[in-house]
Structure 1
């Protein structure tokens, strides 16, 4: 039925690009392009009139660009925004940084028409992204209050007053794995931003992001979170209070000594970096001392990895949004999810498991 279609507004100053995007989205029976605009000013009017589920906008436009549009929308009428632009590539770190800071949920390269094969791949990827983003709940930009540092935790927050640095030595959990896909960029920020600067465990993150997005993402998270954020380096050992991201186009694993190594995709693998590859490697090394967190996203990556963590005696968590499809649904079908939590509850839960005492692994 028409009413069940996901409503999309396209904001693009290039007539050719706009036509291509409309043709792509109109090919899906589940998407309805309810309005178009040539710049941010026109876009705001169309958004107010149509109340779309997802906004797709270019970045560089006259009479209000995509960045200012995002700021206005997230302040006045929050909804998922996907920036489709040629200026969100590897060399555009600052653009990606500012867009994420403003509240953009994802970025996507502007489609070209040179190759029919590439066109079909881009079309499928764009439609899949919009379907996921249409289910996202977004709020006006605000800071999540970080949980308190060191020994000032209340009994309601941890169950006892203690020093976080001492908890790592006695805590059952020694490593946290975090995996996400489309729409997870803002979600990860909300989780990490609630963890205090002296959080005593390392966190390994694997995300499915477009090429060139990772550097801007790391810069943005570094500015938003109390924890140290970086891309994991080969032969580096995980340190407490640090968030490590898998590099682009490589899997991130741990060697027999617990140091980071990169590995390349093999024939038939769909995702690189893969959440499942990392989760399995972490579970293999840390066993029951592993906690795995799987966020909502397209596909099934991470589900088998979460199952491995659970089978090893570790703790598994999944985001309770969009559980009827994608990665979390697959993980549930594998009986891999022990705890189904909201975004707001994941960080407090991670703080809470620090109190679970080690029994060896």
Structure 2
């Protein structure tokens, strides 16, 4: 019997033969993963995707002939397939546009001494089982911006903390793009991403929403209409004045920045004015933080199973009875807007 009969079929797309060979070598160690093909550019990838019908495509962005962004569009329109974008730090600014075009997730290219090798393999196995749908490219116009409230305006009243992991970038886009320019509360996000990718995520989300999105910095105040992204190089919490405090994270922590630490500190600073949202993701980071918000009298929102790419994080919150609202991705923004008036 063929040992690879039920293996995950993977197509690797990168213009560098050395990178393709390295990734093939990594995956060769996994009995339940089989590399069925490789391509050096997006045009080859779109043809291979049609012919080979892989369970997952590992795709670079910067390539000749047809780049990864165009290839993702073609594949998701004609032959929808789970796509994991694996790119270098220098191309991070393009990586999240790939999410808009249908890719499921973005990660940094693994290296020989990579400490996140097992996490990379785990993501491949999770994403290969995701059902994707035909993706039609939408409007890419930038959202108009509004003027940020001055420091002190409506502070320490209500604040929103969002915990998000694998598959969360697309959900964050869906939420923030629906919020109005006069959104009355600050938002702080802990999204599990590779180091060096926070700026790219913030820039991409900033383009999608009328709110201002940026990477959080030390001692920065929380202001209505501003969205702060926790940098993955640090854990983020609020200090005694309710401002951003950046803390080092332990190298042993698989998931960073810590969702639990952010949520718990927002619960402590805002009490019943705290709103916690937990989105798609693996692991259990965020459960204790949502418990802290619930205990403080705040409001909790969890993404539902049907729209979660990976249901584990919201599932644990829901099963623990910690979710006040369980809603679909498309309804999170409207639910959030409503609860802020309570």
Over 3 Å counting, the alpha-carbon distance change for 1:283 and 1:69 in structure 2 is: same
Over 3 Å counting, the alpha-carbon distance change for 1:136 and 1:288 in structure 2 is: farther
CA contact (8 A) 1:304 1:334 kept: no
CA contact (8 A) 1:9 1:33 kept: yes
**Counterpart in the other structure of 1:28:** 30
TM-score of the superposed pair, with normalisation by structure 1: 0.80
1:228-279 residue CA offsets vs partner (Å, 9 max, x unmatched):
1112222222111111111231111111221111122257544332110000
Moved more, 9-18 or 28-37: 28-37
Cα distance in structure 1, aligned partners of 2:254 and 2:60 = 28
SS of 2:340's equivalent in the other structure is: helix
TM-score of the superposed pair, with normalisation by structure 2: 0.84
**Counterpart in the other structure of 1:131:** 125
Over 3 Å counting, the alpha-carbon distance change for 1:330 and 1:26 in structure 2 is: farther
SS of 1:112's equivalent in the other structure is: coil
Over 3 Å counting, the alpha-carbon distance change for 1:219 and 1:122 in structure 2 is: same
**Counterpart in the other structure of 1:329:** 315
CA contact (8 A) 1:13 1:38 kept: yes
Structure 2 residues without counterparts, runs of 5 or longer:
142-152
User: Which of 119, 136, 139 is the aligned partner of 1:140?
Assistant: 136
Tell me how far 1:2 sits from its aligned partner: 6.8
Tell me how far 1:26 sits from its aligned partner: 4.1
Tell me how far 1:324 sits from its aligned partner: 7.5
CA contact (8 A) 2:75 2:81 kept: yes
CA contact (8 A) 1:133 1:183 kept: no
User: Which of 62, 75, 78 is the aligned partner of 1:73?
Assistant: 75
Over 3 Å counting, the alpha-carbon distance change for 1:197 and 1:7 in structure 2 is: farther
CA contact (8 A) 1:180 1:207 kept: yes
Count of residue pairs the alignment pairs up: 327
Moved more, 201-210 or 127-136: 127-136
| CA root-mean-square deviation | 3.1
CA contact (8 A) 2:166 2:310 kept: no
Cα distance in structure 1, aligned partners of 2:78 and 2:168 = 22
**Counterpart in the other structure of 1:14:** 16
SS of 1:317's equivalent in the other structure is: strand
User: Which of 312, 321, 326 is the aligned partner of 2:296?
Assistant: 312
CA contact (8 A) 2:281 2:309 kept: no
